[in-house]
Amino acid sequence: MAFQSSSLIPNPTRRKPILTVLEAALTAVDPAKAVRAVLRREGQHLIIGEHRYDLNRFRHVFVIGAGKAGAPMTQAVEAVVGEQITDGLVVVKTGHSAPTERVEVVEATHPVPNTAGVEAGQRILALAEEAGPDDLVIALLSGGGSALLVNPAPGLTLSDKQQMTSALLACGATIHEINCLRKHCSAVKGGQLARAVAPATLVTLVLSDVVGSPLDVIASGPTVPDQSTWQDAWAVVEKYALVKTLPAAIVARLRAGLAGELPDTPKADDAVFSTSHTLIVADNQVAAEAACRQAHDQGFNALLLTTYLEGEASEVAKVVAALAKQVRGHGQPVATPACLLLGGETTVTLGAHPGRGGRNQALALQTALLLQGMPGVTIVSLATDGSDGPTDSAGGMIDGATVQRGRELGLNAADYLRRHDAYPFLQATNDLLITGPTQTNVNDLIFIFVE
């Protein structure tokens, strides 16, 4: 991963070790490398994390999966398991396929699913059900998997589910409530794919794009236990008075579930999970720890503060600036040269007529305003997928002179920030980070470097 960074220009000497740290973070969560890091062969044994599988035991090995990083993850599995893979199907976002040998990779639309996604979902479910007690199923999940692995429950159509989602968004339901209903109207989400795989042995490899890596949320948790129940689902319907708003087939299904006529999503004590293991191969924590190690190697006093960061970008920026000031003023929490690291994902609440930018560019520009004039400080806000908001930039990399550089060009940083138009400002001051698509996504990383 090489940064074609406009940021190299203003201060190449200072920025070189910093770019090395960023590269280490992205390399650690490269989908193929991350899978290879947990997957290896010892003769006829397949070692996956802490687990050892004797391939001679299995009649078939199936590879299934969904998510934007599906193609390189599949390539990595093929490189290790090779011709012992019987069959497989992985669905990826349009434009994200790559050559594979034994596993079919199909493209579907994201975030709005299309019929290609539905067809792929049906074929993946069929493969899972085909797997028997002597078979091994390797499931590969990554960001976007929820929309890409779409499989409405019997009696429901894709249109029913889309109407349901629209109705839930319109009434202000929480993401937790929406997910509860989605799982109860799907044939695969909420552990139901694992139920289809059982009694075959199941190994799920996860590349997490959800802050905190909650397994039941990533790709809607098709292979892990679900905590939500038919009662929870119906409570959402009643809370927002949705009986007349939701499609009739959905209401009928939820009523039937509530009446005990349909099985609930499998819970933690369900036997289907007795032959199932899940491993996170890459997430924000993996990227952040790799960055910390590299920062240490580059001579920084490195400290990882959190990988659960959330909040409005402009306000989180104030905390980031406050941390930088403390290092500068008091050598706390670590002495200079310091590298503090926060991971997660912020949000930007856009007003009318927003300009160009993304949450990371907004955060970077806000910190540039708050730290203007401060020597020796560099703040990086990086979208690990290389695309921050609807832009071709991965984020921003600012210093105490960024605002002044803009001023000399006749640009007012506060005005650009207010208009949610950070991109052109940071472009003009050479403070944009450009990586191109990284083919992975483990949310964002924010670095505070103080010399």
Using CB under 8 A, list all residues that contact its own copies: 212, 285, 303-312, 315-316, 318-319, 321-323, 325-326, 329-330, 332-333, 342, 344
Q: How far is the CB of 307 from its own copies (least distance, A)?
A: 6
Distance CA 253, CA 153 (A): 9
Q: How far is the CB of 311 from its own copies (least distance, A)?
A: 4
Q: How far is the CB of 310 from its own copies (least distance, A)?
A: 5
Q: Tally the C-alpha atoms within 13 A of residue 153's C-alpha that lie toward its C-beta.
A: 22
How is residue 416 written in tokens?
A: 């650009």
How is residue 354 written in tokens?
A: 């927003």
Looking at the Cβ atoms of 201 and 367, the one nearer to its own copies is: 367
Q: Name the DSSP letter for residue 131.
A: -
Distance CA 345, CA 220 (A): 19
Looking at the Cβ atoms of 235 and 319, the one nearer to its own copies is: 319
Distance CA 197, CA 125 (A): 8
Would you call 316 helix, strand, or coil by DSSP? helix
Start-to-end CA span in the chain (Å): 25
Distance CA 41, CA 54 (A): 10
Looking at the Cβ atoms of 102 and 318, the one nearer to its own copies is: 318
How is residue 173 written in tokens?
A: 């339901």
Beta-carbon neighbour count of residue 451 at 10 Å?
13
Looking at the Cβ atoms of 32 and 316, the one nearer to its own copies is: 316
Looking at the Cβ atoms of 305 and 434, the one nearer to its own copies is: 305
Looking at the Cβ atoms of 180 and 193, the one nearer to its own copies is: 180
Q: How far is the CB of 212 from its own copies (least distance, A)?
A: 7
The answer to whether 369 and 339 have CB atoms below 8 angstroms apart is no
Looking at the Cβ atoms of 134 and 310, the one nearer to its own copies is: 310
Distance CA 53, CA 407 (A): 62
Q: How far is the CB of 298 from its own copies (least distance, A)?
A: 19
Q: How far is the CB of 272 from its own copies (least distance, A)?
A: 26
Q: How far is the CB of 362 from its own copies (least distance, A)?
A: 13
How is residue 424 written in tokens?
A: 């052109």
